[in-house]
Chain A
Amino acid sequence: MLLSLAENYIVELLRALNERFVEEIKVGDIGEGIKEAISSHEFAGIDISGFHFSITHTVISMWLAMILIAALAFWMSRRFEEIPRGRQIISEGFVDLMMNLCKGQHMTEDQAYKVAPFVGSMGVFICISNCFSVFKISPPSKDPVFPITLALFTIVYVIFTGIRLVGIKGFWKSLTYPKAALLPFRVLDYFIKPISLSLRLFGNIFGAFILMEFIYIIVPFIVPGVLGIWFDLADGILQGAVFAYLSVVYIGEIIEGAHSKA
């Protein structure tokens, strides 16, 4: 009795799925749906002396992430006690993690203290803004503008921090340390690094976003929720962590080169 009921239910479900796949969804619909999802709508624009600043989905989700992080930072750093408990353990643990990451890359305590705040906030910003796609808010990284901006910003920060930590002489030494002939490649490296950083972030998030849109269109129940845990949450957080880790590695390279004996 119960078995036949279950069988009936499964047959009904399969028939509904079949209808959805074969009769309702056509290839053109999927293409249109994905194109609709990846196009950026402009809500408003401001013209300031010839430049057009447009406010798109990207900017809105960025502001959302900024508000969220500001609120989180405010809440996490209230009323510290001598013996940490509750949310203080999380915030202290995060600061400790960033400091250890920096110290693992040839930095002293003092240098790590200068680098950790920027790298940590960059990582948290990317992680949180990537996780937005779980709630069907388009993540800012799906627009190439966002990763490119962050990568250019980061590479400028890396160069200036390198000079600040080891001095202009040390930076020059890091560019030329085994042989002076390596200089052009080292300089070229500073142009390749931002491209690599931005394309890695953009490609990962954009690919995952298109895949998730595709799954939302063809199977709009249960499956997107399960797959979203990996493609939206895990991948997004991983990419944020990789971005922060790589910027620390780049600064660590400069310090290692400056202190090398050659």
Chain B
Amino acid sequence: MELGFIAIGAALAIGIAAACAAIGIGIASAKAFEATARQPEMAGKIQQLLFTAIVFIEATAIYALVVSLLLIFVFK
């Protein structure tokens, strides 16, 4: 395959996934801060839930990173 197409593919893969994961983490944290402001006594529980959610959202970006690294180092 042509090297240029692979480079564009890798860049698109990580770029789109990172943008979407950033939006997802932004929404999740915004809601968590709102909830904490409304019920400050639940802060510990909310923080734990937010941490779990962020770990799972971040995983999607990491999958894209693995895919783009595979594209760069394996398919060429």
Q: Tell whether B6 is near chain A: CB-to-CB under 8 Å.
A: no
Q: Tell whether A69 is near chain B: CB-to-CB under 8 Å.
A: no
Q: Which of A14-22, A78-86, A203-211 interfaces with chain B?
A: A203-211
Q: How far is the CA of A180 from the CA of B62 in the complex (A)?
A: 33
Nearest neighbor of A206 in chain B, beta-carbon distance: B69
Contacts of A35 in B (CB 8 A): 73
Interface residues of A: mostly helix, strand, loop or mixed?
Answer: helix
Inter-chain contact B69/A200, CB cutoff 8 Å = no
Contacts of B65 in A (CB 8 A): 203, 207
Q: How many residues from A make CB contacts under 8 Å with B?
A: 16
Contacts of B55 in A (CB 8 A): 200, 242, 245-246
Inter-chain contact A199/B59, CB cutoff 8 Å = yes
A contact residues vs B (CB 8 Å cutoff): 35, 38, 104, 196, 199-200, 202-204, 206-207, 210, 242, 245-246, 249
B contact residues vs A (CB 8 Å cutoff): 48, 51-52, 55, 58-59, 62-63, 65-66, 69, 73
What are the 8 A-B residue pairs with the smallest beta carbon separation, nearest first? A203-B62, A203-B66, A203-B65, A200-B59, A207-B65, A200-B62, A242-B55, A196-B59
